[in-house]
Structure 1
């Protein structure tokens, strides 16, 4: 190793910051030992260089060689521990330094306060704050910023806002500046925890921290005020100081104060930076204020922040929550480079706005870009599989999740439960739920709703009760799930019990969905007048969506008179309701009141209304095929039609009789049969039969309710072909097997 000339060595000693690489630091180390010896001063000097270069191993070797480390050595090792994320070790060193009689200065406190913040030790953090005041370094800019960051972190964890903490006492004393001696005496008891540091943060022989018995305190009471008081007392504030206070206000939901601070920051001649903007954008996303969001976007463009990945992701999220997906696309495509956060943001933007195909497209592009998806990625994309009922893709994602070992993440596992349930695999959903180590309200609600949609009402109710026994309180959404379960099984008494429990015991105001579930249940049970009176009892105006299920119940139970009253109610609040016209036409047709049925059809035609076409989907070999009723455009139509003819012949031999009561009355009976035969779900089922091996499960999705005749026909088909046929319509799942349906003909 070449020897450094003495003049060069002297120059380096006077300006150690010229050493910027590990090899040069080691070379200097050797030369110092050669020329200066192993004195405490020389070792402390080289230690500071190693610490500046973030070389922990070398720093420890030098530090441990010091029999009695001077203050500069303690400062270096504390800083190095903190920069490596070894916060317990940092605090242990801080406590030992005090035990050795060394007093910290403004260079040490930022590292120590950061360690307190990351360990969430509010008691020790407050004691360090007291030490800051005692030693008179509370006016230091970096120490002040570290204090505000610490209190902001404590507050983000939540706490008991009714307790006035020691931090406020210290801050009040600081603001008064009456008697510093009194402040020091007040802090003596609290500062005793600084001296207990070695016991609280012991290091074992391997250097690992043993803080298992340490209680991580979560007392975040009044922390927002603590941050603001520190800020107000700082004689000098930089952008970091302002950003800390702004971020604290945003996290506390105090958006008005946050925006006021941004304006005050500008008045103080400080220009908001990328961190300021990323704190402000969520405010406009939360309040769906796209105009203010665009102003921030314009500011970002003018000052060159729009290419910043952090700002780009915040803009993506803001536009998505304001339902401006096209703007999200533009922001995404303008980014010069993309990281996991920006990819996650665009995928989430699509999913949040119902653009699930686009979300899947971006997810695939993310994989092609060699960006590994994380838990947030999967939490955004799995719901897309749920809504598209793409079981094949959902299984692929599940496999990826297991390989990445994300399956123990409660949010991802809950999404998988929901996905499998919505894709018709309720037993798989139950299995995943059972294997979860932890259950939160989201996972409980997902499994209860899954059981409800599949007609497993007793399982849904049992799980709902078990959830409460485990201390998880039901929410607005979980009550929708259990009421839906009761509705699909005709459990009237149980439904009333839960409805009353929701309002009386849990003080949850019922919403439209809860009223709809009860009204639907009463309608299914044939208690039509009771359902009508219940809907009328709603405190607010009843929307048409609440009356529509009752209209369906009137058709099922052939109550024409009540149907007329319901139709009047629907058209009063929604004159453009096509469903009311279609339902009334069908109800009159079923009652063979052809003139009234024709009037509704003519009125519908005069208004330019068109009936929503029935459509069914089936996924075969990873490709989705769509069928409309009477559709002859599919490439395999001739084979589909042939299969339907063969099935119909066998069905009629087994006792099937087509229900043509709701079909056009002015056509021949044989033509009525053909119209029923070519309903969209039957076309999809026939295609599934001819396109998959015998015994393969067939899964169909339909956009509207399965008609009575098709429901009966599919029971016959399932027995003839020996397959399970799963049909998901717009209200629930039907599992047809061996000539029976899981709904028990109650739907």
Structure 2
């Protein structure tokens, strides 16, 4: 152009801004100011929008200064834009200061400040600003009401949510599709599906968003039949609707139905995004079905979704869980341009899950040069150390976590207790256990099993009594550890007591391993009469494992009657390899 005025510059800057080319818009604005061209209010509005898109806090402050210099203070649109850009750049102190300077904030101004507080996880402050807006007699936008409801959800404030719902009814916003969809989600997450359905059934509430919200609400509550019925009634569906229903099946581990749903989805729609592929790959990993996973991999290549990190990590996890470590490793190296700590953790876990603990350790060493490990990585590594009895490496991992300030929560404490116990370093395990503030059943079980397998039966009893005092109800694993401790220390009477109290006091039905433990406890210490009585009263026929142990103990203690009984039962189970009981033959 041979000559340009403010309108020409503004048109170009606005065009860049509206087409999400924030960098170009800001560059052109800088050039405009450098050439001394006067910027209008419209120009500043576009530039502030671009600053927010690019998260340019430093540039936003400069533009703010120019707004003041040009005398546009008092323009509520520009002032609201400044609140918005400071909020987007996470400078909420500046955003609030600017908002408080607005003489007469309008509904857009209030919507901006409520939304930015919500995005900063300051739900309480978002609700306070919404309440203040109501007191100022400003009628909120539907988005503001929706954001206020979401803020209530973020702080678990159902009471406040009910009050906002009541206010929404008062100003005739209950049937607005944005507000109604948010209310459906709020009541569903608070467990009140009846209220969710009542809002959904309002004449103006049945739209694509509310249908999707209601399907998700039923599914999250485990009411899959109603979720599917409602999904089938939807007059139209988007890829989000399909993803919600597929996610419901995968979340509830209904893999057969998930597979049937994927087949139906491919027949009825060609739409699929990165979320769809991720969900299908999760299903392939769980079934497991590596061939279907490879088909999804091919689809991702053909449709340009293979470079999406979410899809890439899902592929890596699928190959690992299906046991195809070669493909997992190849794909991991192909992801070198975009992989993150989730990618490293998925590969490391794949090797550890297959018992290849040494390889998992080597992967961890390489990981340290590229990504910061998370606590889940350490949990996997500690389990690998426990599998190969690598005490020194386990200690190094423990020390690494302490030096680098990682939170050693109850999950990591359990992994440390398990690792130290399996490496026969029970004092270290007990030290970790004692330093854990909040102990749960899993941690107690890890410590009980650790002491049990390391010949510390007295400590096992002490831990069980401590569990009882702290009000933690034992499970079948707890009693397995107790019975093993009784076997190692020869406490037959105590073992019998624990076996009885398992069902009498804690209403836990003994499983096969508990019966095997009792057979071993009676048989190992020669309580053959008690063993015979125990076998007679068993609620199921003895397995070959139990019969073999009875056979061996009968020969050891020369118990003819019980030995012949075990021999006959073994011959019934396997007539091709006959057993013969001879108390003189102890070979």
TM bracket, shorter-chain basis: 0.7 to 0.9
Counterpart pick for 2:153 among 90, 93, 117 = 117
Corresponding position: 1:308 with 2:308: yes
Q: How big is each residue's C-alpha offset from its partner over 1:282-313, in whole Å with a ceiling of 9 and x where there is no partner?
A: 44544545565555455444434444333343
- Name the Cα RMSD after superposition: 4.2
1:168 alignment partner, one of 176, 182, 194: 194
Query: Aligned partners of 1:436, 1:179: CA distance in 2, in Å?
Result: 50
Per-residue deviation, 1:516: 1.5
1:701-721 superposed Cα distances (whole Å, 9 cap, x missing partner): xxxxxxxxxxxxxxxxxxxxx
Q: TM-score, normalised by structure 1?
A: 0.61
Aligned pairs for 1:295-694 within 5 A: 296-322=296-322, 325=325, 328-336=328-336, 337-367=338-368, 369-406=369-406, 408-528=408-528, 530-531=530-531, 534=534, 538-540=538-540, 542-550=542-550, 553=553, 557=557
**2:540 and 2:306 mapped to 1: Cα distance?**
45
Distance 1:402 1:53, change over 3 A: closer
- Does the 8 Å CA contact 1:168/1:226 hold for their aligned counterparts? no
Shift in alpha-carbon separation, 1:288–1:12, aligned structure 2, 3 A = same
Q: Deviations over 1:351-400 (max 9, x none)?
A: 33333233323222322x33222221111111221121111111111111
Match of 1:74 in 2: 110
Alignment equivalent of 1:31, drawn from 57, 61, 66: 66
**How big is each residue's C-alpha offset from its partner over 1:579-614, in whole Å with a ceiling of 9 and x where there is no partner?**
x99xx9xx99x9677xxx6xxxxxxxxxxxxxxxxx
Instruction: Look up the match of 1:17.
Output: 49
In the TM superposition, residue 62 of structure 1 has moved relative to its aligned partner by 1.1
SS at match of 1:343: helix
Q: Is the 8 A contact 1:139 1:235 kept in 2?
A: no
Match of 2:138 among 83, 97, 102: 102
- For 1:573 and 1:331, locate their aligned partners in 2 and report how far apart those are by CA, in whole Å: 49
Q: Give CA deviations for 1:83-107 in whole Å, capped at 9, x if unaligned.
A: 2232222222122222222233243
CA distance in 2 between counterparts of 1:408 and 1:75 reads 40
Whole-Å Cα distance in 2 between the matches of residues 277 and 555 of structure 1? 61
Q: How does 1:132-147 map to 2 (within 5 A)?
A: 135-136=172-173, 140=177
- Cα deviation, 1:182-235, whole Å, max 9, x if unaligned, reads xxxxxxxxxxxxxxxxxxxxxxxxxxxxxxxxxxxxxx9789899999989998
Secondary structure of the residue aligned to 1:450 is helix
Please state whether the residue corresponding to 1:526 is helix, strand or coil. Answer: coil
Aligned to 2:276: 276
| Aligned equivalent of 1:5, options 37, 60, 65 | 37
State how far apart, in whole Å, the 2-side matches of 1:448 and 1:362 are. Answer: 32
Residue 711 of structure 1: aligned partner:
none
Which residue in 1 is equivalent to 2:16? none
Q: Shift of the alpha carbon at 1:413?
A: 0.8
TM-superposed CA distance for 1:435, in Å, is 1.7
Aligned to 2:201, the other structure's residue is in SS state: helix
Aligned pairs, how many? 536
Equivalent residue number for residue 24 of structure 2: none
In structure 2, relative to structure 1, the CA distance for the partners of 1:396 and 1:532 (3 Å cut) is farther
- Partners of 2:331 and 2:196 in 1: CA distance: 46
Q: Given the alignment of the two structures, is residue 177 of structure 1 paired with residue 203 of structure 2, yes or no?
A: yes
1:518, CA displacement in angstroms?
0.8
Give the number of the structure whose residues are more often helix, by fraction.
2
Contact 1:242 1:261 in 2 (8 A): no
Counterpart check, 1:60 vs 2:96: yes
Partner of 2:83: 47
Larger Rg: 1
Q: Secondary structure at the match of 1:338?
A: coil
* CA deviation profile, 1:237-286 (whole Å, cap 9, x unmatched): 64445434543554455666766765676566462322233334444544
Change (3 A) 1:291 1:440: farther
Local SS of the residue matching 1:108: helix
Contact 2:74–2:103 (8 Å) recurs in 1: no
Contact 1:325–1:353 (Cα < 8 Å) also in 2: no
Structure 1 residue 439: deviation in Å?
0.7
Query: Which structure shows the higher strand fraction?
Result: 1
Higher relative contact order (CA 8 A, sep 6+): 1
Structure 1 position 331, deviation (Å): 4.4
- Cα distance, 1:571–1:297 mapped onto 2, change above 3 Å: farther
Distance change (3 Å), C-alpha of 1:325 and 1:228: same
Deviation at 1:444, TM superposition (A): 0.5
